[in-house]
């Protein structure tokens, strides 16, 4: 981190200039898009003056005077420069401290000359997209613009920081009419980002994380993406260069929190997470133990979209494309001993006994019991909670078997 430091307006009525002097950005996107470079200086000063932001940076970068952090921020002229100066070294440092290593196979897109909309399974609130950007930079490619729900923007400084970090806002808690208008605007923005700004995009395959790791693309996500662009549904989706990617964490630091939420919802169907719960999930996901991490990029689905029957009823198109994306994700997980142990433990069999040693089985069983011990519920149902946690680690194996037709 010390090396990082040592190496250390008016709005037009109709448009803003794009990144790097590119296409003008329509003002309809002003409330949701990442900040443009000319907006950064003013936003930096707002953050620098924010006591909450100063306090967080003191914890994230201990021992570094805030004046040095502020000076380095002011030197960053573009969003990408900010990411490389702050986010990139922080995340690499985090991976070194909180994981057993990180890897990515991006051979499927190496010859592509176009930006991608990476659609992935969703494990961690913050890190799925952040680590993808780090790995893309390590492979000589551009970072991603990130779709992020406004329910996670708990404090004003978080909203400002994520928009500096190339995030665009998914608006939640709207009326049906507002949701349709918001979805259409976001779709138009995604098409603009891909085709005019030449930016990569990351979006989760579903709203929120799949808490049981049964990763399924929601048709509603694809319907939103097809609201923008031109032509048929297939032509609109082709315009986004959808590229599925499978994310595999050896351990999910939030597994016990997800299991706890399952019991809370079972016992009280009206239960809803609080803002404090969201913050705890974010903090635990970022700083918790993750083991090995792997990203497997798969080919852009445009050729597969071309192969769809043009006479297919409109109602079936999105379901078919969702299944297409799911198959590419399910077939490309990376598995660790715990996944196989969880499958055999849950199923009561030894199908994958050759995939782990007795020691690896013992390590994972102790891990599960340790995570269960963290759950603080007055009417704690250990059998239920254990089953939920095992399911989280076993479901990717189940889906892989189905996707690859392995008995």
CATH number at residue 303: 3.40.1130.10
pLDDT at 53 over 70: yes
> Are 137 and 159 part of one and the same domain?
yes
> Are 248 and 342 part of one and the same domain?
no
**Cβ proximity of 160 and 217 under 8 Å:** no
> Are 114 and 167 part of one and the same domain?
yes
> Are 248 and 371 part of one and the same domain?
no
Please give the span between the terminal C-alpha atoms of the chain, in angstroms, as a whole number.
Answer: 49
pLDDT at 23: 67
pLDDT band, very low/low/confident/very high, at 209 (cuts 50, 70, 90): confident
> Is 61 contained in some domain?
no
Question: How many structural domains is the chain composed of?
Answer: 2
> Are 299 and 316 part of one and the same domain?
yes
Comparing C-alpha atoms, which of 220, 211, 251 is closest to residue 368? 251
Kindly report the pTM of this predicted structure: 0.91
pLDDT band, very low/low/confident/very high, at 111 (cuts 50, 70, 90): confident
pLDDT at 278: 86
Last residue of a domain, one of 296, 314, 330: 330
> Is 344 contained in some domain?
yes
pLDDT at 10 over 50: no
**Cβ proximity of 261 and 386 under 8 Å:** no
> Are 294 and 394 part of one and the same domain?
no
> Are 326 and 347 part of one and the same domain?
no
Last residue of a domain, one of 330, 359, 393: 330
pLDDT band, very low/low/confident/very high, at 212 (cuts 50, 70, 90): very high
> Is 60 contained in some domain?
no
Both tokens of 204, joined, read: 């989760």
Last residue of a domain, one of 330, 349, 364: 330
pLDDT band, very low/low/confident/very high, at 240 (cuts 50, 70, 90): very high
> Is 226 contained in some domain?
yes
Both tokens of 224, joined, read: 């939103």
Separation of alpha carbons 132 and 294, rounded Å: 10
pLDDT at 393 over 80: yes
> Are 174 and 295 part of one and the same domain?
yes
Render the burial of 168-202: b for 16+ CB within 10 Å, e for the rest.
bbbbeeeeeeeeeebbebbbbbbbbbbbebebbbb
> Are 243 and 382 part of one and the same domain?
no
Compute how many other C-beta atoms are within 10 angstroms of the C-beta atom of residue 323. 13
> Is 262 contained in some domain?
no
Looking at every residue in the chain, the average pLDDT score rounds to 92
pLDDT at 16 over 80: no
> Is 371 contained in some domain?
yes
> Are 343 and 318 part of one and the same domain?
no
> Is 42 contained in some domain?
no
> Are 246 and 380 part of one and the same domain?
no
> Is 263 contained in some domain?
no
> Are 347 and 319 part of one and the same domain?
no
Across the range 224-240, mean pLDDT stands at 96
pLDDT at 191: 97
pLDDT at 22: 58
Residue 232: give the domain boundaries: 18-34+101-253+288-330
pLDDT band, very low/low/confident/very high, at 188 (cuts 50, 70, 90): very high
User: Which residue in the block uniquely carries the two structure tokens 């031109």?
Assistant: 230
pLDDT at 154: 85
**Cβ proximity of 126 and 285 under 8 Å:** yes
Residue 380, strand partner residues: none
């Amino acid at each position: 981190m010390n090396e990082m430091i040592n190496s250390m307006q008016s709005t037009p009525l109709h448009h803003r200039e794009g990144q790097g002097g590119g296409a003008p950005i329509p003002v309809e996107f002003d409330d949701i898009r990442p900040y443009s470079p000319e907006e950064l200086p003013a936003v930096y000063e707002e953050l620098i003056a924010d006591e909450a932001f100063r306090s967080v940076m003191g914890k994230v970068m201990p021992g570094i005077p805030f004046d040095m952090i502020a000076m380095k921020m002011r030197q960053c002229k573009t969003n990408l420069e900010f990411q490389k100066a702050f986010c990139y070294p922080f995340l690499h440092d985090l991976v070194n401290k909180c994981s057993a290593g990180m890897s990515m196979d991006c051979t499927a897109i190496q010859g592509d000359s176009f930006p991608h909309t990476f659609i992935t399974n969703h494990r961690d609130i913050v890190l799925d997209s952040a680590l993808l950007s780090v790995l893309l930079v390590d492979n000589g490619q551009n970072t991603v613009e990130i779709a992020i729900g406004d329910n996670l923007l708990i404090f004003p400084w978080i909203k400002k920081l994520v928009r500096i970090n190339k995030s665009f806002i998914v608006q939640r808690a709207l009326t049906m009419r507002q949701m349709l208008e918001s979805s259409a605007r976001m779709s138009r923005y995604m098409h603009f980002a891909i085709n005019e700004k030449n930016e990569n995009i990351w979006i989760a395959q579903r709203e929120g994380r799949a808490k049981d790791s049964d990763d399924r693309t929601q048709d509603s996500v694809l319907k939103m993406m097809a609201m923008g662009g031109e032509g048929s549904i297939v032509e609109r989706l082709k315009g986004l260069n959808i590229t599925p990617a499978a994310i595999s964490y050896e351990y999910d630091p939030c597994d016990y929190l997800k299991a706890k939420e399952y019991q809370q919802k079972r016992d009280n169907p009206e239960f809803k997470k609080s803002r404090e719960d969201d913050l705890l999930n974010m903090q635990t996901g970022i700083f918790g133990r993750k083991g090995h991490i792997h990203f497997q990029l798969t080919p852009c689905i445009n050729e597969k979209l071309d192969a769809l029957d043009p006479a297919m009823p409109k109602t079936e198109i999105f379901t078919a494309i969702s299944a297409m994306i799911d198959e590419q994700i399910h077939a490309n997980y990376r598995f660790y001993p715990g996944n196989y142990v969880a499958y055999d433990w849950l199923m009561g069999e030894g199908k994958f006994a050759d995939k782990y040693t007795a020691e690896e089985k013992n390590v994972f069983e102790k891990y599960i019991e340790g995570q269960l011990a963290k759950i603080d519920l007055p009417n704690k149902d250990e059998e239920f909670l254990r089953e939920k946690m095992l399911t989280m680690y076993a479901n990717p194996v189940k889906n892989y078997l189905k996707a690859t037709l392995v008995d």
